[in-house]
Amino acid sequence: MPTSSLGPEVIEIWFRAVDVTGVFCAAVIGAKLARERRFDAVGFATLAVISALGGGMTRDVLLQQIPVAFTDPFYLGGALLGATVAFFWRLESKWTNRMITVADALCLGCWAATGAQKTLALGLGVLPAMMMGLTTAVGGSIIRDVMVGKIPKIFGGANLYATPAATSAVIMVVFFKLNMPVLGMALSIIAALIFVLLAQWRGWVLPEALDLSINLTPRQFRQLLRLRDTKPQDSKDTNPVTKDKNTSGSD
């Protein structure tokens, strides 16, 4: 009895710790962008909060729920702490960036799985769950980049980020349907971590659109239409069976 009652609580605390750690790291990433743009303290706090909590808040609003950032002080506190740390320290060393990348990958899988799980728990379908998982994972970074006039990195030109989030959301959907959400959450986090680190190491990116163009003038288009209209008549005249029937009829 004590073990079964404490087990889920310990797991929930662990996942919550990963979630808040991701909030902190996402806030640091947003605040580092504020440093690049030479923003003041208000700019640091704004970009940090948007980067860390924007996706989750958007998800909760779309699902008609009170955002968790308003009910759990650790989320907003973690975002502001990340902004404060990045405001006083540059955090540009190689090992610091690696640690932030690992923590960001962990929270990516956690957020994608959380968004998918919450959506499925409300009785919605698989596609809405996938959309909410992606919104939770990458929504904050999209809003942050748009606010500073940048094209979001997930739209191209950067290593895979949205794809690992989608993979984590799929894993969560599958295990939620199997009534194993805790295992799904753990596997989603691990999968996102491995996927993101491999993408960083190997430089994986999604293929861009093919540069193919078809130039057709109005005159050429009219000629194609004319050929299409004349083909049945030509085939009728040259058909040997029809020709024989016409010949036999004349005899």
- Residue 147 phi, psi (nearest 5): -65, -30
Question: Are 92 and 166 contained in the same domain?
Answer: yes
- 51 and 144 Cβ atoms separated by less than 8 Å: yes
Residue 188 is predicted with a pLDDT of 93
Q: Give the integer Cα–Cα distance in Å for 115 and 15.
A: 14
Residue 59 located in a structural domain? yes
Structure tokens given for 246: 């016409």
Provide mean pLDDT across the span 64-88: 92
Q: Give the integer Cα–Cα distance in Å for 233 and 231.
A: 5
Question: Are 196 and 244 contained in the same domain?
Answer: no
Question: Are 176 and 223 contained in the same domain?
Answer: no
Is the pLDDT at 210 greater than 80? The verdict is no
Is the pLDDT at 97 greater than 50? The verdict is yes
Question: Are 156 and 237 contained in the same domain?
Answer: no
Question: Are 194 and 236 contained in the same domain?
Answer: no
Provide mean pLDDT across the span 215-221: 75
Determine the structural domain holding residue 48 and report its residue range: 2-202
How far is Cα of residue 218 from the mean position of the Cα atoms in its chain? 42
Torsion angle in degrees (nearest 10) through CA of 47, 53, 58, 64: -140
Provide mean pLDDT across the span 143-151: 91
Burial class (CB in 10 A: 0-12, 13-18, 19+), 19: buried
Provide mean pLDDT across the span 212-236: 69
Question: Are 177 and 240 contained in the same domain?
Answer: no
Question: Are 185 and 222 contained in the same domain?
Answer: no
Question: Are 144 and 235 contained in the same domain?
Answer: no
> Regarding predicted confidence, which is higher, 162 or 218?
162
166-193: burial string, b at 16+ Cβ within 10 Å, e else: bbbbbbbbebbeeeebeebbbbbbebbb
> Regarding predicted confidence, which is higher, 11 or 162?
162
Residue 152 is predicted with a pLDDT of 87
Is the pLDDT at 89 greater than 80? The verdict is yes
Provide mean pLDDT across the span 90-96: 83
Torsion angle in degrees (nearest 10) through CA of 186, 188, 190, 191: 160
Q: Give the integer Cα–Cα distance in Å for 78 and 35.
A: 19
Specify the pTM.
0.76
Q: How does the average pLDDT of the chain come out, rounded?
A: 84
